[in-house]
Structure 1
Amino acid sequence: MPMRLVAAAASLASSLVLSTGALGQSTTGTIPDGGIRAWSCEQVNLAAAAGFPWVSVGTEWKAIEPNQGDFQPPEHARAVLQCAKDLGLNTQLIITGSPQWASGYSESNHPPTPANVPAYAATLGKLAEAWAPLVDVWTPWNEPNFDLFWARPHDAGAYVNIQKQAYAAIKPKDPMSRVSAASVVGTPTGSGTNAWDYLEQAYQLGLKGSADIVMINFYPRVAPEGTSVDSKGRPAPWALSSQTYMRALVDQFDPGRPIWIGETGYSTCRNCYSGAANSVSEAEQADYTVRMYQYRRRYLQGVTDRIFLYETVDAGSDPRDWWLTQGIYHNDLSPKPVVAALNEVRVADTTPSTPGVGGSTPTTTPVPTPVPTLPTSAAKPPAPANSKTRGIRVAIRKVRVTYRSGVVTVRTGVLASRGRLRVRVDAYQLRRKRWRRVKLISLRRSSNIRVRFRDQGYVGVRVLARPTTVRKWTASRVVRIPAARRR
């Protein structure tokens, strides 16, 4: 995605109040595994109000050192980082974009020549020395496998050389912070090199030891739990479910190295004419975004530690432009429905400074993030597990629920003393506060059943049964999904 700098920094708004904010919804707790891009102090405040404990900020080398040796730390980026720190947030700083003197080209997507890589590293070292208190994660470059930030050829060896020298320059100046690898981009495009191929090449060429975190950016072409494959039949790097493949790939070369998603999200552009990787309604954006975090917490604990959204505020007012409609707030700063929906994935009693939630010091084992559970009001079965109506006894055996890779499997047995049966399986959607029917089954006799369905952030399963001669459900069982067995 474009690394744009807002023309002027907005003044710092009032401090975040962890109660009920001006937006009219609860702001208690944070999204401990969340982050979001912010381009101004105003956006930092909106990000904090939405519950994000991390913000990502971008700047360009050509702005820092427009002429060789002319070091000019960008005041706007510093101000945004300071605003984040004033609110107690954690920060990531991405530095990309070569000046012409370093690459030989007027376009900033050309990397520096090999002779000028030490100059890039030295600039980052100076910046780290000056801004150490403001930055928790330093990210040299962005999307080196994508034309927008790295003109062809996408040379993994040249990128690794930049990463190694930048890492070596930053670490002595800011040893308490982490230095991530540049995010590879996973979205399918003719303008990029496949993320898996590029990442594997980078490790083969020596990336290990020069990155505290490995990162990927992608814009899903599927629902959060959806699956897809790339041209080689592998799990596609533009699907959240494929993070398990990335985990296995990284572990081949760098076991246990933290993985973060540096950019993702669903655009709300309508009748898009520009750069459309995905397009959903505002209601779908709210639903899908919440489900992304629920999916990470249920299926990707120990796989992927953090998800950064792109971005806080729409970058423009044209509703048809995909690039300009990524925000969780409209361009006029009014919230989209996703802002209220994100309250569902906040964790109470967490703040950006809570141990294990943020901060610069890496932890060996990520702290598990709680998964929302079934409300008590929904957990009450509407009928007993065993009942007799009109002389027909109906019983539902213990319900076994397992979940794996975004698919929920329900197994149970339904018994009847005689006659045919009707069985319904429901799943509970927490954000909509309702049970949703996922399967209706007709049985000729007592039988064991197995039902599989795509997990959409469900927190409970309900099985209901009745004789076909009766209209009311006479037997039921309810199971909380977080308590189910994960296979």
Structure 2
Amino acid sequence: MTTPSDLRRALIVGGATLAALPAKALNLWGKKVPQVVELKPMRTVVWRDFLGVNAQFQWFEPAIARKQVERLKALDLNWVRLGLHWMLMEPKEGQFELEAIDRMMALVKDAGLRNITYVVGTPRFASVVAKGDKYEQYFDKFPPKDPVLFAQRMVMLAKRYPQVDVWQAWNEPNILGFWAPKPDPEGYGRLLLASVQGLRATVPSKPIAMAGMAYFSEMAPGNGLMIQKMGELGAFNLDLIIAYHPYTATAEGSEADPRDFVKRVVPAHQWLRSAKVKQIWATEWGWSSYDGPKEEQPIVGEQGQADLTLRRLALMAALDYDRIFLFTLSDLDKRASVRDQHYGLLRENGEPKPVYFALQRFLKICGPRIEPGTPPATVGDKPEGLIGIAWRQPDGQKLWMVWADKPGTLRLKGLAKATLHHPLKGTQRALTAQANGELSLPVDTSLQILSHA
């Protein structure tokens, strides 16, 4: 078994890189930045390469799973994130139950979908939890006794499923639901190192992702951020995709600070890039449309889910993410919690929810590719909490994504006419300049897209 000292020696170069950074940079998510008014996109976005979805095809009958794929392809999206649960694949040591996974992987291959696949969940025979422990029934939440055994299973899966594009080692080890009895960066580091060594020896051309950390990688209060801890151990030196799951109460922020999403992401990603991280992915994000009772996330309903998803997508597209995965393609059955049953773009029967139609309209308005653009000139006061993001389509047509905390009116100059799209409602209206040359733009709390020459 790999020891903490072995891990530190193996990853010492990455740790030295971090040690050379300014101390203030190590507070990843706490730096304050001015309130966002106009967010300048970081790079060109090609939606089918940038936006993916989590999918649980193995939970569904083959006909429903195929319908889900058809709905995804109708959005012209091409990436999925798949989860394999070790305790279900190998309930007893050496006895594998892979039929549902084989079927899922064949479906993904036949559909031409690209995928990142993670493995999580320890079988009883491999779990570190002791027999007779009061938490023994939650054995799958505890890490494996031997990280090498987990790595061997990842290698076996990599050989069996060559259609996997990216392997991801574990999921959300910074919270008790996936790493009990408490998060352990060095323990996860041993599992990660063994997995990387095994996969690089077996499928050397396949990228590997660190586990997607829950939220912004916070551990228990006072214990810091797990991404930062992994960096201090030197894990960034393994040339991994760094991933996390920025779930928040609203599209723009948390209940404590309704505008802290951008405030957290911008300095954190700058820090990660300064530590030579090449790829930053959000492998989960989204909102459940559940009716309650409340489980962390505010109750927003189906229309709220659609509204929040579009606004967050607009923000993430403009920020320094290389790829993002919405959670999730379909609602789930009662094997999931009440909240987790309702994150889908689709209902359990494969039929679209309002969030699916809103996303479809958003992507159609944008077109397959958008490039950083220049916002229109404004005159006078702006609605409270205005957010604007300017893009340009390849043919030169300009798009301005805009919304605000409160409805209001913007006065624009230099535009004779424009079209205002409301993808949440599925409406559009023509706008023309007044006699004074100003064009009045009604701003809503939901995202709208102004299209003009």
TM bracket (short chain): 0.5 to 0.7
Match status 1:150 vs 2:150: no
Give the match for residue 281 of structure 1. Answer: 301
| Deviation readout 1:111-136 (Å, 9 max, x if unpaired) | 122xx11111112112212212x201
Which secondary structure state, in structure 2, belongs to the residue aligned with residue 95 of structure 1?
strand
Query: 1:318–1:162: structure 2 CA closer, same or farther, 3 Å change rule?
Result: closer
Does the 8 Å contact 1:180/1:212 carry over to 2?
A: yes
Considering fraction of residues, name the structure with more helix: 2
- Matched residue of 1:199: which SS? helix
Residues 456, 65 of structure 1: alpha-carbon distance in 2 compared, 3 angstrom cutoff: same
Within the alignment, does 1:96 sit opposite 2:117 as a pair? no
Within the candidate set 221, 227, 230, 2:249 is matched to 221
| Aligned partner letter, 1:97 | G
Q: CA deviation at 1:155?
A: 0.7
What TM-score results when the alignment is normalised by the length of structure 2? 0.66
Tell me how far 1:336 sits from its aligned partner. Answer: 0.6
Q: Summarize deviations over 1:293-339 as a string: whole Å, max 9, x none.
A: 22223x21xx1122211112211379993121111112233211121
Please list every run of 5 or more consecutive structure 1 residues that lacks an aligned counterpart in the other structure: 1-28, 352-368, 380-396, 411-422, 438-450, 461-478
Q: Distance in 1 between matches of 2:229 and 2:99?
A: 36
Change (3 A) 1:409 1:344: closer
Amino acid at match of 1:82: A
Match of 2:342 among 316, 325, 328: 325
Mapped partners of 1:317, 1:125: distance in 2: 32
Q: 1:53 aligns with which of 78, 89, 92?
A: 78
CA contact (8 A) 2:120 2:171 kept: yes
Question: Which of 200, 211, 222 is the matching residue for 2:228?
Answer: 200
Shift, 1:409, TM fit: 10
What is the 5 A alignment of 1:128-139? 128-132=158-162, 134-139=163-168
Q: Select 1:245's aligned residue among 254, 263, 267.
A: 267
Of 192, 196, 202 in structure 2, the residue corresponding to residue 167 of structure 1 is 196
Name the CA shift for 1:71/1:205 in 2 (closer, same or farther; >3 Å).
farther
Change over 3 Å in CA distance of 1:276–1:435 after alignment to 2:
farther
Say if 1:339 and 1:407 are closer, same or farther in 2 by CA, change over 3 A. closer
| Deviation sequence 1:226-248 (CA, Å, 0-9, x none) | 23497xx9985xx3663223312
Task: Select the structure of larger CA radius of gyration.
Answer: 1
Cα distance, 1:435 vs. partner?
7.0
How far apart are the structure 2 equivalents of 1:309 and 1:194? Answer: 29
SS of residue paired to 1:35: strand
Partner of 2:140: 108
Matched-pair identity in %:
21
Q: Would the aligned equivalents of 1:220 and 1:240 in 2 still touch at CA under 8 Å?
A: no
Q: Are 2:325 and 1:308 equivalent residues in the alignment?
A: yes
Residue 258 of structure 1: aligned partner: 279
Aligned: 1:177 with 2:202: no
**Structure 2 Cα separation of the partners of residues 406 and 214 of structure 1:** 31
Q: Which has the higher contact order (CA 8 A, sep 6+)?
A: 2
Query: Could you say which residue in structure 2 is the equivalent of 1:26?
Result: none
CA separation of 1:263 and 1:426: change in aligned 2, threshold 3 A: farther
> In the TM superposition, what is the alpha-carbon distance from 1:398 to its structure 2 partner?
7.8
The equivalent residue for 2:312 is 292
Cα distance in structure 2, aligned partners of 1:104 and 1:256: 32
What one-letter code is carried by the residue in structure 2 that aligns with 1:80?
M
Note the alpha carbon deviations across 1:384-436, whole angstroms, 9 max, x for none: xxxxxxxxxxxxx986999xx983499xxxxxxxxxxxx95269444254579
Structure 2: 5+ residue stretches without partners: 1-45, 130-135, 391-407, 413-419, 432-440
* Structure 1 Cα separation of the partners of residues 387 and 196 of structure 2: 40
CA distance in 1, matches of 2:366, 2:287: 29
Q: Secondary structure at the match of 1:287?
A: helix
Q: Does the CA contact (< 8 Å) of 1:429 and 1:459 recur in 2?
A: yes
Q: Note closer, same or farther for the CA distance 1:261–1:406 as it changes in structure 2 (3 Å cut).
A: farther
CA distance in 2, matches of 1:320, 1:455: 30
* Pick aligned residue for 1:209 from 231, 234, 237: 237
Deviation at residue 110 of structure 1 after TM alignment? 0.5
Q: What amino acid does structure 1 have at the position aligned with 2:267?
A: Y
Quote the residue 1:425 is aligned against: 410
2:217·2:225 contact (CA, 8 Å) conserved in 1?
A: no
Check 1:140–1:256 CA distance in 2 against 1; reply closer, same or farther (3 A cut).
Answer: closer
Q: Give the RMSD, CA atoms, in angstroms.
A: 4.2
1:344 to 352, 361, 382: 361
- Counterpart Cα distance in 2 of 1:275 and 1:52: 30
Contact 1:57 1:80 in 2 (8 A): no
**2:387 corresponding residue in structure 1:** 407
For the residue of structure 1 that corresponds to 2:300, the secondary structure is coil
Change in 2 beyond 3 A, CA 1:400/1:76 = farther
Q: In the TM superposition, what whole-angstrom CA distance separates every residue of 1:332-374 from its partner, at most 9, and x where no partner exists? A: 33211121221234379999xxxxxxxxxxxxxxxxx516999
How do 1:359-370 and structure 2 match up within 5 A?
369-370=369-370
Partners of 1:312 and 1:409 lie apart in 2 by: 26
Cα distance change on mapping 1:344 and 1:86 into 2, 3 Å? same
The one-letter amino acid of 2:236's match is K
Q: What SS does structure 1 have at the residue aligned with 2:180?
A: coil
Q: 1:259 to 1:229 in 2, by over 3 A?
A: farther
1:207-238 per-residue CA deviation (whole Å, 9 max, x = no partner) reads 1133521111132201x2x23497xx9985xx
Question: Is 2:81 the partner of 1:86?
Answer: no
TM-score (norm 1): 0.62
Tell me the SS of whatever aligns to 1:181.
strand
One-letter identity of the residue aligned with 1:145: N
- Structure 1 residues 398, 278: CA separation in 2 closer, same or farther (over 3 Å shift)? closer
**Structure 1 246/197 Cα, relative in aligned 2: closer, same or farther at 3 Å?**
same
Output the CA distance in 2 between the equivalents of 1:81 and 1:241.
39
